Amino acid sequence: MRFDVITLFPELFTPFFSSGINRRAYEGGLVDVHLWNPRDFAEGLYRRVDDRPFGGGPGMVMMAEPLWQCLQAIRAARAEAEGARAPVVLFSPIGDPLNHAAVEQWSSSAGAVLVCGRYEGIDQRFIDSCVDRQISLGDFVLSGGEIAAMALLDAVARLQPGVLGDAGSHQQDSFNPALDGLLDSPHHTRPEVWRGPQGEMPVPAVLLGGHHERIARYRREQSLRLTAQRRPELLGRARAQGLLSQQDETFLRDSTGL
């Protein structure tokens, strides 16, 4: 899969692609990422990519023409390499929230063109004529779309075969269908007793017993409890889809009252 990223700050991505376990996906070509700077396609001595907004107001707005010329170059490069037109994605506060289901779709796709906005935004005419989808990380505003693009690329990369050390690791992630879309359970490691600020804190005994069925049930109950406390709407969705067993429902009723 190939992602082409339109960004005024391609240097921000360099350490991202070479650090952490996900670098296997980028270095191995499982997720092929190309960076494009719209300033390279701007005209004039100063290669200007932004200007004042019509109607007044603070800040500057990214101009449509450099973005369009950049996109044209990307489409030509992709057509030469693959012959397929990729969707154009803009990271924006008004976009659809990025969730696990969307990440899974992108992880098995041919990729996309990711547009990272800056300043007060992008000329709406480019959005109306060129953007296929808009994506948001949440109800807050970033200085630009680069962090959002990295978030999507990171989430997609870790789902590629061979990237994580254990092929089944992501199956236990929060929101994964393997967990019925619930939150993951807590995790513990050595030492068995940690002497922290609250005194001695032992690992739950069930995790030390080696009884796999009991461990699995404990983790399921912890997942149910956390989801009920932190994200009850996920619990409601799992119920509506018939994913909770009678044992699950009994535990929830007795422990949380839900």
The letter for the amino acid at 6 is I
Q: Are residues 134 and 239 in the same domain?
A: no
Same domain, 98 and 182: no
Within the chain, what is the greatest distance between any pair of CA atoms?
Answer: 71
The domain spanning residue 117 has which CATH number? 3.40.1280.10
- Is residue 167 one of the residues assigned to a domain? no
Asked if 235 contacts 183 with a C-beta cutoff of 8 angstroms, the reply is: no
Q: What one-character DSSP code corresponds to residue 87?
A: P
CATH code for position 189 = 1.10.1270.20
Residue 165 located in a structural domain: no
Q: Tell me: do 187 and 87 sit in the same domain.
A: no
Q: Does 164 map to a domain?
A: no
Q: What is the pTM (predicted TM-score) of this model?
A: 0.89
Q: Would you name the residues annotated as active-site residues?
A: 93, 120, 158, 173
Residue 166 within any structural domain of the chain: no
Let me know whether 204 and 77 are in one domain. Answer: no
pLDDT of residue 11: 97
d(CA 253, CA 258): 5
Tell me if 131 is assigned to some domain: yes
DSSP 8-state class, residue 110: -
**Which of 15, 14, 164, 4 lies closest to 76 in space, CA to CA?**
4
Q: What is the pLDDT of residue 171?
A: 55
Residue ending a domain, among 157, 186, 214, is: 157
* Strands lying side by side in the sheet with 133-136: 32-36, 2-6, 111-115, 88-97, 133-136
What residues make up the domain containing 196? 174-255
Instruction: Report the alpha-carbon angle 113-116-119, nearest 5.
Output: 155
Q: Which helix (H) or strand (E) holds 150?
A: helix 146-157
* Average confidence (pLDDT) per 10 residues, the chain, 258 residues: 97 95 93 97 93 95 98 93 84 96 96 96 97 97 97 96 70 74 94 96 96 96 96 95 97 91
Could you list the beta-strand ranges (E) of the chain.
2-6, 32-36, 50-51, 61-62, 88-97, 111-115, 133-136, 193-196, 199-202
